[in-house]
Amino acid sequence: MAKVYYCFPGGKHKALTMSYDDGRTEDRRLVSIFNKYGIKGTFNINSGIFHNTYGEKVQPEEFLKLYEGHEIACHTVTHPTIARCPLENVAEEVLEDRKRLEAIMGQPVRGLAYPNGSTSPKIREMLPMMGIRYARVVGSTDDFAIPEDFYQWKATCHHNHNLLENGQRFVDLFKKQYLYLMYVWGHSYEFTDKNNWEVMEEFCKLVGGREDTWYATNIQIVDYMEVLDRLQFFADCSKVFNPSAQSAWLANEKGEIIEVKGGTLAVVNEQ
């Protein structure tokens, strides 16, 4: 039987994504570093906390320009520890955050970073009904696997946890029979607090601009994996139909990279 491997867009076998919380003004410097090296980030915002005692926040009128090419996602309106809250309160915090952020950005907002990493099975069960497609927890896996459950998405590492070591391991990966995903999270103000901006600059220089890596936001990865899940293969894997609008990328048993455009039937392996 012919073999088929899934690929990331462009036939790549690695992907990198970043996730940063709270919308502090240090995001300006972080975004400039990402843009310099072609890296994509997701920025998780509390839409009810633009003025407080915890440091200066990026203001809504700056969002469209600052975060252009990146993703804005929910972080709840007021950042409560939601596992302690009634579900009615959680639903209001998430839906209202979506509404406010969508009004600013002019596009759907479908991701979430759990405030304080707080979640529960009942909250995760409710999120799809509120239009949330994924949610990030805290902690580090120190690996590069694609999550089995996007509602319990744990990153490879926080940027203060083995970042350069994990980055070098990621760069050195070469076995193309796997899909590798590196995911880094944190808060941009932490670089100011620890005076270690050079760590992120060095990391982005190390991992950016590589031919084998797809640089994507969180939601782009989730959406693309859904495209792959929806592919309709012939039983012998000789052909495949892509019912989605977005292209899917595959590698056949000869190692050839095949783009299957949306709404088309493609030959994967010649019989």
113 and 245 part of one domain: no
249 and 126 part of one domain: no
271 pLDDT more than 80: no
pLDDT tens-digit map of 5-15: 999 999 999 99
The predicted pLDDT at position 145 comes to 96
Side chain identity, residue 178: Y
254, 259, 264, 267 alpha-carbon torsion, rounded to 10°? -10
At 134, list the tokens: 């994924």
The predicted pLDDT at position 269 comes to 87
Band (pLDDT 50/70/90 cuts) for residue 176 is: confident
88 and 199 part of one domain: yes
200 burial level (CB within 10 Å; 0-12, 13-18, 19+): buried
192 and 248 part of one domain: no
Q: Nearest-CA neighbor of 105 among 151, 58, 150, 152?
A: 58
Strand 14-21 with 239-241, pairing: unpaired
The predicted pLDDT at position 54 comes to 63
118 and 191 part of one domain: yes
The predicted pLDDT at position 254 comes to 87
Q: Does residue 1 belong to any structural domain of this protein? A: no
Find the domain containing 128 and state its range.
Answer: 14-219
153 and 248 part of one domain: no
Q: Does residue 175 belong to any structural domain of this protein? A: yes
How many distinct structural domains can be found in the chain? 2
pLDDT tens-digit map of 183-206: 999 999 999 999 999 999 999 999
110 and 147 part of one domain: yes
Q: Residue 95 in contact with residue 130, Cβ under 8 Å?
A: yes
Determine the Cα–Cα distance for residues 138 and 86; give it in Å rounded to an integer: 21
161 and 254 part of one domain: no
181 and 68 part of one domain: yes
Main-chain dihedrals φ then ψ at residue 184, nearest 5 degrees = -115, 140
pLDDT over 90, % of the chain:
92
What's the mean pLDDT when you consider all of the chain?
95
pTM listed for this prediction: 0.96
| Better pLDDT: 9 or 176 | 9
199 and 259 part of one domain: no
Q: Does residue 4 belong to any structural domain of this protein? A: no
pLDDT over 70, % of the chain:
98
Q: Does residue 5 belong to any structural domain of this protein? A: no
Query: Of 219, 240, 258, which residue constitutes the final position of a domain?
Result: 219
pLDDT tens-digit map of 206-256: 999 999 999 999 999 999 999 999 999 999 999 999 999 999 999 998 889
The predicted pLDDT at position 207 comes to 98
153 and 25 part of one domain: yes
**Of the candidate ranges 48-62, 145-159, 168-182, 235-249, the one whose mean pLDDT is the lowest:** 48-62
For 217, other C-beta atoms within 10 Å of its C-beta total 21
